[in-house]
Structure 1
Amino acid sequence: MQTPSHTARPPRASRALLQALMAAGVMAAGLVTAGLAAMPAAAAARFTPGPCWFTVPEGEAALCGTVAVPERRDRATGRSLRLPVAVLLSTARQPAPDPVLFLEGGPGASSFGSGPATEERMEVWWELSAPFRRTRNLILFDPRGVGRAEPDTDCPEFDALGADRQARPPTRDQQAAAEGEAVAACAARLEAAGLDTTQFSTPVAAEDAVDVVTALGAERFNLFAVSYGTRVGLEILHRQGNRVRTAVFDSVYPPDVNAQEEAAWLAQRAYRRLFDDCAANRACRAAYPDLEKRFLDLVERLERNPVNIVVGDHETRRPLRLTGTSVISAGLEAMAVSEAVPAVPALIDRAARGQYAALAEWAPVSWLGDPEIADGLAFSIECRESVNPADPAKRADGARRFPPYGMVSADDPGRRICRRWPAGRQEPAERLPVASQAPVLLLSGAYDPVTPAEWGDRAAATLPKSRHLVFRAASHIVTSSEDCAMAAAVSFVEQETVPVTVCPGAAKPPVFEGP
């Protein structure tokens, strides 16, 4: 389940001092004063200081380097993989000993971004993490196979598909053939490089994450996870819950749900929320009467008679075959972004009147792969834990129960990919709910079509010390759009609880835009 990447922020100290420590290869004095204890001698993972690959703002400080983790978790010996780590240091004279460990979404997204985007991403991190860093450090890292981490699992073969901007969109058969060639080429290339793609999994990701904080000397730590990262965080609670002081899970993806099986319901649920909220709002109801009926008529019309259009500007320009299915998907993409939710009724209204461009801009691309996602890792985890274990009967039942929204999974490219991709097999025990006594704050957006609030309720059922906050006007990754959600997260890490009256505005529905 690839999701929009979260952006966040970090800490501070003397850059000259840190550079001197790194150059000398010593860390004890600097890390102790930064609130990180000495690394246990018996720890398998090890931290190697190195230069930061991003600009550290004036007055701030970061400790950068790599943590080596075992390539194979099922073998006592073997080579190690290096994961890039950045500790954004606290501004406190004596930081708390339990840092905050951030777990990115995806799977396959980098906490640091890539290329020129790294500097912009880190600027955001410095700002967002400042409240956390008043008392403790914040740890960022890229998981194995992602971004700057070893090994490189990106599939440029898929990026090449997206770069081929032909005059007309490919047919379904042409698209399937091109995907098949790209999958085969990427899998063969990774295999030739000695990479075992069956070794990527959520349990392995959880063990690596714990190794990162252990290598940095932290006995206990706090988790801040978003989207797929919450599944990794829940696995950490399952395996090492006694070391987790608090956990903040934003847009919860529990292990006992399968997004593939619930695709039709997820789509229907998001649109049901939209149509009900518009009908309940006097201005929206007056501006867009019969919105649901007009949308369903639009879907039916375009499914019968698709329209070929061109979307994007000169750099992102691409041909698009607009069908009923792609219209449903476009609306879901828009509703996954909190800032776009108020405009969705207007987008539907224009499309119903034949003005397709604005809604079509949200239609997902016709090819798989994303330059910002480590494709090989994403395929390995999604095939292993979502696509391959999905029950075909449940998928078909959802399509029958929620027409026309079941069309979004009728021609799922993920199933085509996973027939060819060499992924591991998930153990049944991994799909059980996670029970833990750790204090957990769960955050959900009512409009989230990716990780709905109901999944947060589901996770909370076996987390007796949890609190679930639902933001009525928000969507995926609540802390990226709701200041109060981030403030609640910081407060929870500080106090292990939040007031009953926290975020009073969370219950307000969105204010929709006019025509």
Structure 2
Amino acid sequence: MRRFSLLAVAALLSATALAGCSVINDLRGAISPTERPDVPAEAPPAAMPGTERFYAQQLTWAKCSGGLCAQLEVPIDYAEPDGATIELAVLMVPATSGSRLGALVVNPGGPGGSGVDYARAAAFGAVVTAPVHRKYDVVGFDPRGVGRSAPIECLDGAQLDAFMAQDPTPDTDAERAAAVATAAGFGEACAAKDNPLLLHVSTAEAAKDMDILRSRLGDAKLTYLGKSYGTYLGAVYAGLFPEHVGRLVLDGAIDPTLTSERLNLGQAVGFERATLAWAEACAAEQGCPFPGDATAVMSGLGDLLRELDSKPLTVTGDRSVPAVTEGWASYGVAAAMYDQGMWDQLSQALTQATRGDGSGLMDLADRYADRNPGGTYSTNLMQALWAVNCLDKPEPAGAEERVAQQQRLTAQAPLWGPFMAWGSLVCATWPQPDGTPPPDPAPITAAGSGPIVVIGTTRDPATPYEWAVGLADQLEKGTLITYDGDGHTAYTRSNQCVDDAVDNWFIDGVVPAADLRC
């Protein structure tokens, strides 16, 4: 019952598997401290009074799994910088040549994705190309409330399982009332933890953290690669600190002007478009689980999901879930839309499902949710997602509005419209600072910044291409790269034209040709 994660899931998971290394459980336990020169203190921006000590701190780097680790101290509430603080986990994979250009900060998306895990994968050829890594220290941080940075955790594994498994398309008054109650219960569970950070994990606050990080890395301007939700973090940063914008790349972009309904509609249409592309490929192959042309495949998939609403599928093995519901199955199908390399796995899982076995769909759903088969969750992605999203964007309340929205979305996306209409309901009753709802969406121009590169993929399910066009248009110096392809995000995924343009920008400062198409 939520928006789909804007995480670059496929890129992050493949990178983590490639790395083959364990999660850092305690960054303070790193050994063999590595000396790095002190960075001079920097005066904080005028909009951040009282933060002088944060812009004067020195990062203490130490060897750790996959690179060098440090902790960055930031205030919980920037309105009270002398109050309580938290420490953000930071990981650096040093440049592989002696002629470094500086630090390249990366964010994989989410919200809730670990920048520490993402940056670590740079040592194994993921995240950026080898020429870029030769020139830059690749740096990732877990944003406030995420991963190892004072993580927001409201539900235990069993409670989160129940939340994920619930009916995503309620179609009776009783089911809608249950959906409203469950959505409100998530926020109530978070509020009951009495964690002051819960009200201070917005993207604007994370962007302020990122400026302190830039300063403490010793760079006058930020060089940054943001994917998916990371593009929103990067755009918000550029709007707040245009004078500190260096070479930014925003891949799989989000349009900051989107209202909640427009975001839901965009994702509904995006996933519909991506699913149709899978259906066309499936129909052309022998053994497709639903016979016929692409229209018949889409119809068969829709019928299966609706059947699961009342008749969940059994699973085999130690799954810790009694059955695959419509909710779990929807997440499983969605996971495969992030990367066309997973389409065969989806087709095999759906073939299993038509034979009464939901195990393949649950495998995909586990992957989507960072969930282990035994019922534990590897990260707090599924909880940090809400904590951030609900502070960023106002959300209408009430089941009646959802029913009306469902009708509007279903008209344009018959398969995914109902799911998306109810997907953001949690934010309707989420705890807000002083009870004040988030500000209405507004364009970001980043007036006074240098060029900012935006990348859009034409059949991206999670961040539709139109969003990249919108962001590039509103930025004062936005330049758009269009990748005609499938899957979520483009750089380092599958296209040399995109990679070359981004590399030339990062390494030589060459702005991509206007309206470059790859």
Q: 2:100 aligns with which of 91, 95, 98?
A: 95
TM-score for both structures, normalised by structure 2: 0.74
Do structure 1's residue 333 and structure 2's residue 331 form an aligned pair? Answer: no
Q: Distance in 1 between matches of 2:282 and 2:301?
A: 22
TM-score for both structures, normalised by structure 1: 0.74
For 2:159, the equivalent position in structure 1 comes to 161
RMSD value, Cα: 4.4
> For residues 76 and 430 of structure 1, do their structure 2 counterparts lie closer, same or farther at Cα, with a shift above 3 Å needed?
farther
- How far the C-alpha of 1:233 sits from its partner, in A, is 0.3
> For residues 296 and 141 of structure 1, do their structure 2 counterparts lie closer, same or farther at Cα, with a shift above 3 Å needed?
same
Kept in 1: contact 2:393–2:439 (CA 8 A): no
Q: 1:106 aligns with which of 101, 105, 110?
A: 110
* Worse-superposed segment, 229-238 or 127-136: 127-136
Do structure 1's residue 44 and structure 2's residue 43 form an aligned pair? Answer: no
- How far the C-alpha of 1:243 sits from its partner, in A, is 1.4
Deviation string for 1:79-126 (max 9, x for gaps)? 322112223222333422x4211123111221224xxxx9xx725545
Kept in 2: contact 1:234–1:254 (CA 8 A): no
Deviation string for 1:195-235 (max 9, x for gaps)? 24222211111111011111222111211101111111001
Q: Distance in 1 between matches of 2:277 and 2:161?
A: 39
- SS of equivalent to 2:199: helix
Deviation string for 1:127-148 (max 9, x for gaps)? 3344323223222211112222
**Which amino acid in structure 1 is aligned with residue 451 of structure 2?**
P
Q: Distance in 1 between matches of 2:142 and 2:342?
A: 29
For 2:23, the equivalent position in structure 1 comes to none
- SS of equivalent to 1:461: helix
Query: How do 1:258-277 and structure 2 match up within 5 A?
Result: 258=259, 260-272=261-273, 274-275=275-276
Deviation string for 1:426-481 (max 9, x for gaps)? 55365324344422222233332211111111111123543333333331133353
Kept in 1: contact 2:88–2:148 (CA 8 A): yes
Q: Distance in 2 between matches of 1:426 and 1:52?
A: 43
For 2:240, the equivalent position in structure 1 comes to 239
Q: 1:184 aligns with which of 183, 188, 198?
A: 188
- How far the C-alpha of 1:356 sits from its partner, in A, is 6.5
- How far the C-alpha of 1:494 sits from its partner, in A, is 1.5
* Worse-superposed segment, 468-477 or 455-464: 468-477
For 2:73, the equivalent position in structure 1 comes to 68
Which structure has the larger Rg? 1
Q: 1:83 aligns with which of 70, 80, 88?
A: 88
Kept in 2: contact 1:330–1:363 (CA 8 A): yes
Q: 1:127 aligns with which of 117, 125, 128?
A: 125
> For residues 438 and 178 of structure 1, do their structure 2 counterparts lie closer, same or farther at Cα, with a shift above 3 Å needed?
same
For 1:489, the equivalent position in structure 2 comes to 502
Kept in 2: contact 1:434–1:463 (CA 8 A): yes
Q: Distance in 2 between matches of 1:292 and 1:4?
A: 28
Kept in 2: contact 1:153–1:375 (CA 8 A): no
User: Which consecutive residues of structure 2, in runs of 5 or more, have no partner in the other structure?
Assistant: 20-30, 45-51, 372-376
Query: How do 1:207-222 and structure 2 match up within 5 A?
Result: 207-222=208-223
How many pairs were matched up? 465
Deviation string for 1:355-384 (max 9, x for gaps)? 876556545799999542255543222222
User: Which consecutive residues of structure 1, in runs of 5 or more, have no partner in the other structure?
Assistant: 11-17, 32-36, 57-61, 507-515
Deviation string for 1:296-349 (max 9, x for gaps)? 2552465267432123x53446333554x7766543332122312466667667
Query: How do 1:34-433 and structure 2 match up within 5 A?
Result: 38-40=40-42, 43-45=52-54, 46-56=57-67, 62=68, 64-96=69-101, 98-113=102-117, 122-128=120-126, 129=128, 130-149=130-149, 151-155=150-154, 157-161=155-159, 183-189=187-193, 191=194, 194-258=195-259, 260-272=261-273, 274-275=275-276, 283=284, 289-300=292-303, 303=306, 306-311=310-315, 314-316=317-319, 318-323=321-326, 330-341=332-343, 358=360, 361-362=363-364, 370-374=377-381, 377-386=384-393, 388=395, 396-412=407-423, 414-416=424-426, 418-419=428-429, 421-422=431-432, 425=436, 427-428=438-439, 430-433=441-444
Kept in 2: contact 1:260–1:395 (CA 8 A): no
